[in-house]
Amino acid sequence: MAIELPPLPFEKNALVPYISEETLDYHYGKHHQAYVTNLNKLIEGTADAAKSLEEIVLSSEGGVFNNAAQIWNHTFYWSGLKQGTNGPKGSLAAAIDRDFGSLDTLKTELAQAATTQFGSGWAWLVAEGGKLKVVKTANADLPCKHGQKALWTIDVWEHAYYIDYRNARPKYIDEIIQNLVNWDAVAENLAKALD
């Protein structure tokens, strides 16, 4: 069964002015698509060809892992972006207050993790051991490889921001964290993590 590029959960202009249509053309249409194409070539005729993407991520290494994990990471990243959400509510808001003290502190920790990730990688809000925490991973690495449940992520590979922000990674990070976190998706991910 071939791995397919999942559709974006929004229109290509839905994140403007924070993420342009041009960035999505390259980031989603070229980079994300390339991971799908490469993975399918790598797993063709192997036992991995019959596995789900998550199974491949958890059982593979090297090039197969890198491409599979980047497909998963990017799909998860897109699902966590949306304009116009009003912030966390209910049990998510309570968990943020319990584990970070405030939403502002969480945003600061996410920005710090994303800004200080050397080179390519990701900053994540995760659930682990019944608590929320912020972690960062390099390259294609992701929380499920470390027994953590991903709740939200920001991509800090240069291809995520270079068209819109050039080398101003901190500006990109601030704009995403302040304006595009899909708190409804984060709440859904937390509910699944607690099941």
pLDDT of residue 162: 98
- Identify whether the C-beta of residue 68 lies closer than 8 Å to the C-beta of residue 170: no
Round to whole Å and give the CA distance between 149 and 128.
Answer: 7
131-138/149-155 β-pairing: unpaired
Is residue 117 exposed (0-12), middle (13-18) or buried (19+ Cβ within 10 Å)? buried
pLDDT at residue 15, as a whole number: 98
- Convert the chain into a string of H (helix), E (strand) and C (coil): CCCCCCCCCCCCCCCCCCCCHHHHHHHHHHHHHHHHHHHHHHHCCCHHHHCCHHHHHHHCCHHHHHHHHHHHHHHHHHHCECCCCCCCCHHHHHHHHHHHCCHHHHHHHHHHHHHHCCCCEEEEEEEECCEEEEEEEECCCCHHHHCCEEEEEEECCHHHCHHHHCCCHHHHHHHHHHHCECHHHHHHHHHHHHC
Give the pLDDT score at 52.
97
Per-residue pLDDT at 1 exceeds 80: no
Both tokens of 5, joined, read: 């590029």
Lowest mean pLDDT among 17-21, 85-89, 186-190: 85-89
pLDDT for 181 beyond 90: yes
List, for residues 37-86, the tens digit of each pLDDT value: 999 999 999 999 999 999 999 999 999 999 999 999 999 999 999 998 78
Place 194 in a pLDDT band, splitting at 50, 70 and 90.
confident
d(CA 195, CA 192): 5
Q: What number is the average pLDDT over the span 113-132?
A: 98
Provide the mean pLDDT of the chain.
Answer: 97
CATH number belonging to domain 21-79: 1.10.287.990
Domain map (residue ranges) of the chain: 21-79, 90-194
* Both tokens assigned to 45: 């005729």
Q: Output the pLDDT for position 37.
A: 98
What mean pLDDT comes out for the span 109-118? 98
Q: Helix 33-43 and helix 62-79: axis angle, to 10°? A: 140
Tell me the pTM. Answer: 0.98
Q: 108, exposed or middle or buried, with CB in 10 Å at 0-12, 13-18, 19+?
A: middle
Confidence (pLDDT) at 71: 98
Give 195's pLDDT tier (boundaries 50, 70, 90): confident
In this predicted structure, what is the pLDDT of residue 76?
98
Per-residue pLDDT, averaged over 184-192, amounts to: 97
Instruction: Tell which CATH architecture fits domain 90-194.
Output: 3-Layer(bab) Sandwich (3.55)
